[in-house]
Amino acid sequence: MTSTPLATYQPDQRGLALIGGEATDANLRRYLHGIPGIDAVGLEARAADLGTRSIKTSSKRWAIDTIIGLIDLTTLEGADTPGKVRSLVAKALVPDPGDPGCPRVAAVCVYGDMVGAAVTALGSAHAAGGTAGGEVQRVRVAAVATAFPSGRASLAIKLADVRDAVAAGADEIDMVIDRGAFLAGRFGQVYDEIVAVKDACRRADGSMAHLKVILETGELNTYDNVRRASWLAILAGGDFIKTSTGKVAPAATLPVTLSMLEVVRDWHRLTGVRIGVKPAGGIRTSKDAIKYLVTVAETVGEEWLTPHLFRFGASSLLNDVLLQRQKMTTGHYSGPDYVTID
Protein backbone atom coordinates (compact mmCIF):
# COMPACT_ATOMS: atom_id res chain seq x y z
CA MET A 1 0.00 0.00 0.00
CA THR A 2 1.73 3.07 -1.27
CA SER A 3 0.39 6.47 -0.43
CA THR A 4 1.56 8.24 -3.58
CA PRO A 5 1.83 6.62 -7.03
CA LEU A 6 5.44 6.56 -8.16
CA ALA A 7 4.64 8.23 -11.45
CA THR A 8 3.86 11.52 -9.74
CA TYR A 9 7.51 12.14 -8.84
CA GLN A 10 9.58 14.16 -11.25
CA PRO A 11 12.38 12.03 -12.68
CA ASP A 12 15.66 13.43 -13.85
CA GLN A 13 15.09 14.58 -17.44
CA ARG A 14 18.70 14.12 -18.46
CA GLY A 15 18.55 10.51 -17.38
CA LEU A 16 15.33 9.93 -19.30
CA ALA A 17 16.78 11.52 -22.42
CA LEU A 18 19.71 9.12 -22.29
CA ILE A 19 17.53 6.09 -21.76
CA GLY A 20 15.51 7.29 -24.74
CA GLY A 21 12.03 7.01 -23.30
CA GLU A 22 10.21 6.02 -20.17
CA ALA A 23 12.15 4.37 -17.39
CA THR A 24 10.60 0.97 -17.99
CA ASP A 25 12.33 -2.30 -17.17
CA ALA A 26 12.82 -2.96 -20.88
CA ASN A 27 14.26 0.47 -21.71
CA LEU A 28 16.55 0.46 -18.72
CA ARG A 29 17.66 -3.07 -19.43
CA ARG A 30 18.48 -2.13 -23.01
CA TYR A 31 20.49 0.85 -21.84
CA LEU A 32 22.30 -0.82 -18.96
CA HIS A 33 23.17 -3.89 -20.97
CA GLY A 34 24.53 -1.73 -23.77
CA ILE A 35 27.28 -0.43 -21.49
CA PRO A 36 30.63 -2.18 -22.08
CA GLY A 37 31.30 -5.02 -19.67
CA ILE A 38 34.02 -5.33 -17.10
CA ASP A 39 36.77 -7.92 -17.19
CA ALA A 40 37.19 -8.84 -13.52
CA VAL A 41 40.82 -9.94 -13.81
CA GLY A 42 41.81 -6.76 -15.61
CA LEU A 43 39.92 -4.51 -13.20
CA GLU A 44 41.51 -6.15 -10.17
CA ALA A 45 44.95 -5.97 -11.77
CA ARG A 46 44.52 -2.25 -12.41
CA ALA A 47 43.36 -1.66 -8.83
CA ALA A 48 46.33 -3.63 -7.50
CA ASP A 49 48.64 -1.59 -9.71
CA LEU A 50 47.22 1.68 -8.37
CA GLY A 51 47.73 0.25 -4.90
CA THR A 52 51.49 0.09 -5.47
CA ARG A 53 51.93 3.86 -5.71
CA SER A 54 54.36 4.95 -3.06
CA ILE A 55 53.12 8.10 -1.30
CA LYS A 56 55.88 9.66 0.77
CA THR A 57 56.82 12.81 2.73
CA SER A 58 54.95 15.92 1.60
CA SER A 59 52.47 13.91 -0.49
CA LYS A 60 51.73 11.68 2.47
CA ARG A 61 51.19 14.64 4.77
CA TRP A 62 48.71 16.15 2.32
CA ALA A 63 47.00 12.79 1.88
CA ILE A 64 46.59 12.25 5.63
CA ASP A 65 44.90 15.61 6.17
CA THR A 66 42.77 15.16 3.07
CA ILE A 67 41.58 11.76 4.25
CA ILE A 68 40.45 13.19 7.59
CA GLY A 69 38.46 15.89 5.78
CA LEU A 70 36.76 13.23 3.62
CA ILE A 71 35.59 10.95 6.41
CA ASP A 72 31.93 10.39 7.23
CA LEU A 73 32.49 9.42 10.86
CA THR A 74 29.92 6.74 11.38
CA THR A 75 28.01 4.99 14.12
CA LEU A 76 25.25 2.64 12.99
CA GLU A 77 24.54 0.36 15.88
CA GLY A 78 21.38 -0.87 17.48
CA ALA A 79 22.93 0.28 20.74
CA ASP A 80 23.37 3.92 19.63
CA THR A 81 22.20 6.52 22.14
CA PRO A 82 22.22 10.33 22.17
CA GLY A 83 25.24 10.06 24.44
CA LYS A 84 27.14 7.95 21.94
CA VAL A 85 26.24 10.37 19.17
CA ARG A 86 27.43 13.36 21.25
CA SER A 87 30.71 11.57 21.79
CA LEU A 88 30.99 10.90 18.04
CA VAL A 89 30.29 14.54 17.24
CA ALA A 90 32.93 15.68 19.73
CA LYS A 91 35.44 13.45 17.97
CA ALA A 92 34.32 14.76 14.58
CA LEU A 93 34.94 18.35 15.67
CA VAL A 94 38.23 17.74 17.45
CA PRO A 95 39.73 14.56 16.04
CA ASP A 96 43.04 15.08 17.84
CA PRO A 97 42.81 17.02 21.11
CA GLY A 98 46.60 17.28 21.14
CA ASP A 99 46.67 19.19 17.85
CA PRO A 100 44.19 21.99 17.24
CA GLY A 101 45.46 22.22 13.66
CA CYS A 102 44.00 18.83 12.82
CA PRO A 103 41.20 19.16 10.25
CA ARG A 104 37.64 18.13 11.04
CA VAL A 105 35.88 15.25 9.36
CA ALA A 106 33.35 15.92 6.60
CA ALA A 107 30.26 14.58 8.32
CA VAL A 108 28.85 12.35 10.99
CA CYS A 109 26.70 9.51 9.74
CA VAL A 110 23.93 8.18 12.00
CA TYR A 111 20.55 6.45 11.93
CA GLY A 112 17.58 8.71 11.25
CA ASP A 113 16.37 8.90 14.85
CA MET A 114 19.77 10.18 15.95
CA VAL A 115 19.84 13.12 13.54
CA GLY A 116 18.34 15.48 16.13
CA ALA A 117 20.96 14.50 18.68
CA ALA A 118 23.74 15.01 16.14
CA VAL A 119 22.44 18.42 15.06
CA THR A 120 22.15 19.56 18.66
CA ALA A 121 25.60 18.33 19.53
CA LEU A 122 27.14 20.08 16.53
CA GLY A 123 25.44 23.37 17.38
CA SER A 124 27.09 26.21 15.51
CA ALA A 125 29.55 23.85 13.87
CA HIS A 126 26.71 22.26 11.92
CA ALA A 127 26.97 22.93 8.21
CA ALA A 128 23.21 23.52 7.92
CA GLY A 129 22.05 23.14 4.37
CA GLY A 130 25.22 21.38 3.36
CA THR A 131 27.23 24.50 2.63
CA ALA A 132 30.61 24.45 4.24
CA GLY A 133 32.41 27.72 4.48
CA GLY A 134 33.72 30.54 6.58
CA GLU A 135 36.74 30.39 8.78
CA VAL A 136 35.78 27.25 10.64
CA GLN A 137 35.23 24.03 8.78
CA ARG A 138 31.67 22.94 9.41
CA VAL A 139 30.48 19.39 9.77
CA ARG A 140 27.46 17.87 8.02
CA VAL A 141 24.96 15.36 9.31
CA ALA A 142 24.29 12.33 7.13
CA ALA A 143 21.46 9.93 7.93
CA VAL A 144 20.98 6.44 6.63
CA ALA A 145 17.39 5.90 5.59
CA THR A 146 14.98 3.81 3.47
CA ALA A 147 14.87 0.91 5.94
CA PHE A 148 18.66 0.72 6.06
CA PRO A 149 20.46 -1.67 5.73
CA SER A 150 18.21 -4.24 4.03
CA GLY A 151 15.76 -1.86 2.40
CA ARG A 152 13.05 -4.42 2.90
CA ALA A 153 10.06 -2.21 3.70
CA SER A 154 7.25 -0.63 1.76
CA LEU A 155 8.00 2.48 -0.24
CA ALA A 156 5.77 4.52 2.08
CA ILE A 157 7.88 3.51 5.07
CA LYS A 158 11.10 4.25 3.20
CA LEU A 159 9.93 7.70 2.18
CA ALA A 160 8.69 8.48 5.68
CA ASP A 161 12.10 7.44 6.98
CA VAL A 162 13.75 9.90 4.59
CA ARG A 163 11.35 12.78 5.34
CA ASP A 164 11.82 12.30 9.09
CA ALA A 165 15.56 12.52 8.79
CA VAL A 166 15.44 15.56 6.51
CA ALA A 167 12.98 17.30 8.81
CA ALA A 168 15.27 16.61 11.78
CA GLY A 169 18.06 18.46 9.99
CA ALA A 170 19.96 15.84 8.00
CA ASP A 171 22.10 17.38 5.26
CA GLU A 172 22.63 14.13 3.44
CA ILE A 173 20.56 11.01 3.02
CA ASP A 174 22.26 7.64 2.49
CA MET A 175 19.58 5.45 0.92
CA VAL A 176 19.81 1.78 -0.03
CA ILE A 177 18.61 0.46 -3.37
CA ASP A 178 16.27 -2.51 -3.54
CA ARG A 179 18.86 -5.17 -4.40
CA GLY A 180 16.15 -7.80 -4.71
CA ALA A 181 14.41 -5.79 -7.41
CA PHE A 182 17.70 -5.07 -9.15
CA LEU A 183 18.77 -8.72 -9.23
CA ALA A 184 15.30 -9.73 -10.44
CA GLY A 185 15.64 -7.32 -13.35
CA ARG A 186 13.03 -4.86 -12.11
CA PHE A 187 15.24 -1.92 -12.99
CA GLY A 188 12.24 0.37 -13.35
CA GLN A 189 11.28 -0.17 -9.75
CA VAL A 190 14.80 0.60 -8.51
CA TYR A 191 14.85 3.70 -10.68
CA ASP A 192 11.45 4.93 -9.52
CA GLU A 193 12.33 4.44 -5.88
CA ILE A 194 15.47 6.53 -6.21
CA VAL A 195 13.46 9.25 -7.94
CA ALA A 196 10.90 9.14 -5.13
CA VAL A 197 13.54 9.25 -2.41
CA LYS A 198 15.24 12.14 -4.13
CA ASP A 199 11.94 13.97 -4.07
CA ALA A 200 11.59 13.23 -0.35
CA CYS A 201 14.98 14.90 0.21
CA ARG A 202 13.32 18.25 -0.53
CA ARG A 203 13.13 20.51 2.50
CA ALA A 204 10.28 22.90 3.31
CA ASP A 205 12.30 25.79 1.85
CA GLY A 206 12.73 23.93 -1.43
CA SER A 207 16.42 23.12 -0.95
CA MET A 208 17.51 19.51 -1.19
CA ALA A 209 19.40 17.19 1.08
CA HIS A 210 22.22 15.47 -0.79
CA LEU A 211 21.32 11.95 -1.89
CA LYS A 212 23.83 9.12 -1.60
CA VAL A 213 22.69 5.88 -3.18
CA ILE A 214 24.03 2.74 -1.53
CA LEU A 215 24.39 -0.12 -4.02
CA GLU A 216 25.44 -2.77 -1.49
CA THR A 217 27.99 -4.15 -3.89
CA GLY A 218 28.59 -7.22 -1.72
CA GLU A 219 25.10 -8.39 -2.63
CA LEU A 220 25.31 -7.44 -6.29
CA ASN A 221 28.22 -9.85 -6.57
CA THR A 222 29.57 -9.02 -10.05
CA TYR A 223 31.40 -5.96 -11.32
CA ASP A 224 29.01 -5.82 -14.27
CA ASN A 225 26.14 -5.53 -11.80
CA VAL A 226 27.97 -2.83 -9.86
CA ARG A 227 28.54 -0.87 -13.04
CA ARG A 228 24.90 -1.16 -14.10
CA ALA A 229 23.61 -0.25 -10.66
CA SER A 230 25.94 2.75 -10.65
CA TRP A 231 24.55 3.97 -13.97
CA LEU A 232 21.02 3.33 -12.78
CA ALA A 233 21.54 5.34 -9.59
CA ILE A 234 23.06 8.25 -11.49
CA LEU A 235 20.40 8.17 -14.22
CA ALA A 236 17.74 8.37 -11.51
CA GLY A 237 19.32 11.47 -9.98
CA GLY A 238 21.61 10.28 -7.17
CA ASP A 239 24.25 12.84 -6.14
CA PHE A 240 26.62 10.22 -4.81
CA ILE A 241 27.03 6.50 -5.34
CA LYS A 242 28.12 4.55 -2.30
CA THR A 243 29.44 1.02 -2.17
CA SER A 244 28.02 -0.53 0.95
CA THR A 245 26.07 -0.36 4.16
CA GLY A 246 28.97 -1.81 6.11
CA LYS A 247 26.62 -4.56 7.26
CA VAL A 248 27.39 -6.99 4.43
CA ALA A 249 30.75 -8.52 3.59
CA PRO A 250 32.57 -7.77 1.38
CA ALA A 251 32.02 -4.05 1.85
CA ALA A 252 34.13 -1.51 -0.05
CA THR A 253 37.02 -2.91 -2.05
CA LEU A 254 39.44 -1.02 -4.26
CA PRO A 255 38.34 -2.72 -7.52
CA VAL A 256 34.66 -2.07 -6.79
CA THR A 257 35.39 1.56 -6.03
CA LEU A 258 37.52 1.83 -9.17
CA SER A 259 34.66 0.49 -11.29
CA MET A 260 32.29 3.07 -9.77
CA LEU A 261 34.80 5.86 -10.34
CA GLU A 262 34.99 4.83 -13.99
CA VAL A 263 31.22 5.26 -14.26
CA VAL A 264 31.44 8.67 -12.64
CA ARG A 265 34.24 9.64 -15.04
CA ASP A 266 32.18 8.50 -18.04
CA TRP A 267 29.12 10.38 -16.78
CA HIS A 268 31.20 13.51 -16.50
CA ARG A 269 32.50 13.05 -20.06
CA LEU A 270 28.93 12.58 -21.23
CA THR A 271 27.13 15.33 -19.31
CA GLY A 272 29.74 17.52 -17.66
CA VAL A 273 28.15 16.74 -14.28
CA ARG A 274 30.26 15.53 -11.36
CA ILE A 275 28.87 12.72 -9.23
CA GLY A 276 30.39 11.74 -5.87
CA VAL A 277 31.65 8.33 -4.77
CA LYS A 278 31.70 6.94 -1.26
CA PRO A 279 33.41 3.68 -0.42
CA ALA A 280 32.12 2.54 2.96
CA GLY A 281 33.04 -0.28 5.28
CA GLY A 282 36.28 -2.18 5.55
CA ILE A 283 38.70 0.73 5.07
CA ARG A 284 40.58 0.77 8.36
CA THR A 285 44.13 1.92 7.72
CA SER A 286 45.80 5.03 6.37
CA LYS A 287 47.66 2.87 3.91
CA ASP A 288 44.40 1.57 2.44
CA ALA A 289 42.82 5.01 2.42
CA ILE A 290 45.81 6.44 0.53
CA LYS A 291 45.30 3.78 -2.15
CA TYR A 292 41.78 5.14 -2.58
CA LEU A 293 43.05 8.70 -2.94
CA VAL A 294 45.49 7.55 -5.61
CA THR A 295 42.73 5.67 -7.41
CA VAL A 296 40.46 8.71 -7.37
CA ALA A 297 43.19 11.07 -8.54
CA GLU A 298 44.36 8.84 -11.38
CA THR A 299 40.87 7.80 -12.54
CA VAL A 300 38.69 10.91 -12.33
CA GLY A 301 41.25 13.55 -11.41
CA GLU A 302 42.30 15.09 -8.15
CA GLU A 303 39.56 17.71 -8.29
CA TRP A 304 37.36 14.87 -7.00
CA LEU A 305 39.25 14.86 -3.69
CA THR A 306 36.82 17.23 -1.99
CA PRO A 307 34.00 16.37 0.44
CA HIS A 308 31.44 17.21 -2.25
CA LEU A 309 32.69 14.44 -4.48
CA PHE A 310 34.42 11.84 -2.38
CA ARG A 311 33.89 10.41 1.10
CA PHE A 312 35.08 7.54 3.20
CA GLY A 313 32.36 5.83 5.23
CA ALA A 314 34.38 4.66 8.18
CA SER A 315 34.74 4.66 11.93
CA SER A 316 38.02 3.03 12.91
CA LEU A 317 39.92 4.60 9.99
CA LEU A 318 40.11 7.99 11.69
CA ASN A 319 42.25 6.83 14.60
CA ASP A 320 44.72 5.04 12.37
CA VAL A 321 45.06 8.18 10.27
CA LEU A 322 45.57 10.24 13.42
CA LEU A 323 48.34 7.91 14.57
CA GLN A 324 50.04 8.35 11.21
CA ARG A 325 49.58 12.07 11.45
CA GLN A 326 51.18 12.18 14.90
CA LYS A 327 54.02 10.06 13.58
CA MET A 328 54.63 12.49 10.75
CA THR A 329 54.61 15.44 13.17
CA THR A 330 56.71 13.97 15.96
CA GLY A 331 58.81 11.48 14.03
CA HIS A 332 57.87 8.51 16.17
CA TYR A 333 54.94 6.19 16.58
CA SER A 334 52.67 6.60 19.58
CA GLY A 335 50.00 4.07 20.45
CA PRO A 336 46.27 3.53 20.67
CA ASP A 337 46.12 5.34 24.01
CA TYR A 338 47.28 8.55 22.36
CA VAL A 339 44.14 8.87 20.23
CA THR A 340 40.68 9.15 21.70
CA ILE A 341 37.92 6.61 21.34
CA ASP A 342 34.61 8.16 20.46
Partner 1 sequence: MKFLDYAPAPESQALLNLKSDYGLFINGEFTAGRGTPFQTINPATEQQIAMIATANEADVDAAVSAARRAYNGVWSRLSGSDRGKYLFRIARLVQERARELAVAETLDNGKPIKETRDVDIPLVAAWFFYYAGWADKLDHAGVGPNPSSLGVAAQVIPWNFPLMMLAWKIAPALAAGNTVVLKPAETTSLTALLFAEILQQADLPAGVVNIITGDGSTGQALVNHPGVNKVAFTGSTSVGRAIARSVAGTDKKLSLELGGKGANIVFDDAPIDQAVEGIVRGIFFNQGHVCCAGSRLLVQESIHDDVIDRLKRRMQTLRLGDPLDKNTDIGAINSAEQLARIRELSDLGQQEGAERWSADCEIPENGFWFAPTIFTNVSTSHRIARDEIFGPVLSVLTFRTPAEAIAKANNTPYGLSAGIWSDKGSRILAIADKLRAGVIWANTFNQFDPSSPFGGYKESGYGREGGRHGLAAYLKPAVRSGSRSLAAADHATTPGSKKSASASKKSASAEKAAK
- State the SS3 of the chain: CCCCCHHHCCCCHHHHHHHCCCCCHHHHHHHHHCCCCCCHHHHHHHHHHHCCCCCCHHHHHHHHHHHHHCEEEECCCCCCCHHHHHHHHHHHHCCCCCCCCCCCCCEEEEEHHHHHHHHHHHHHHECHHHCCCCCCCCEEEEEECCCCCCCCCCHHHHHHHHHHHHHCCCCEEEEECCHHHHHCCCHHHHHHHHHHHHHHCECCCCCECEEEEECCHHHHCCHHHHHHHHHHHHHCCCCEEECCCCCCCCCCCHHHHHHHHHHHHHHHHHHCCCCEEECECCCCCHHHHHHHHHHHHHHCCHHHCCCCCECEEECCHHHHHHHHHHHHHHCCCCCHHHCCCC
311: contact with partner 1 by CB under 8 A:
no
| Residue 230 CB partners (closer than 8 Å, separation 6+) | 215, 241, 259, 260, 263, 264
Binder of partner 1 out of 58, 78, 79, 341 (CB under 8 A): 58
**293 interacts with partner 1 by CB under 8 A:** yes
Q: Which stretch binds partner 1 (CB under 8 A): 156-164, 179-187, 294-302, 329-337?
A: 294-302
Q: Which of 3, 10, 57, 124 touches partner 1 by CB under 8 A?
A: 57
Binding part of the chain for partner 1, among 59-67, 102-110, 147-155, 270-278 by CB under 8 A, reads: 59-67
Annotation says 60 is catalytic: no
Whose CA is closest to 211, among 190, 194, 225?
194
Least Å distance, CB 297 to partner 1, is 5
Per the residue annotation, which of 72, 161, 171, 174 is the catalytic one?
A: 174
Site string for partner 1, 186-215 (x = CB under 8 A): ------------------------------
Among 22, 77, 99, 302, binds partner 1 (CB under 8 A): 302
For position 272 contacting partner 1 by CB under 8 A, the verdict is: no
Q: In the set 12, 46, 105, 288, which binds partner 1 (CB under 8 A)?
A: 46
Applying CB under 8 A, among 55, 90, 125, 153 the residue interacting with partner 1 is: 55
- Among 169, 240, 173, which Cα is nearest to 201's? 173
Residue 139 interacts with partner 1 (CB under 8 A): yes or no: no
10 touches partner 1 by CB under 8 A: no
Give the active site residue among 158, 212, 242, 291.
Answer: 242
- Based on the residue annotation, tell me whether 278 is a catalytic residue of this protein: yes
Nearest-5° Cα angle at 126, 164 to 100: 145
In the residue annotation, 113 being an active-site residue is answered as no
User: Whose Cβ is closer to partner 1: residue 56's or residue 332's?
Assistant: 56
Instruction: State the minimum distance, in angstroms, from the CB of residue 307 to partner 1.
Output: 15
Q: Which of residues 61-120 bind partner 1 (CB under 8 A)?
A: 62-63, 66
The stretch near partner 1 (CB under 8 A) out of 55-63, 178-186, 201-209, 328-336 is: 55-63
Q: With respect to partner 1, which residue has the nearer C-beta, 156 or 270?
A: 270
Residues contacting partner 1: total by CB under 8 A: 27
Specify which residues 276 forms β-bridges with.
240
Q: Is 124 in the site for partner 1 (CB under 8 A)?
A: no
Q: Give catalytic residues, as residue numbers.
A: 174, 242, 278
Binding site for partner 1 (CB under 8 A): 36-39, 41-43, 45-46, 52-60, 62-63, 66, 262, 293, 297-298, 302, 305
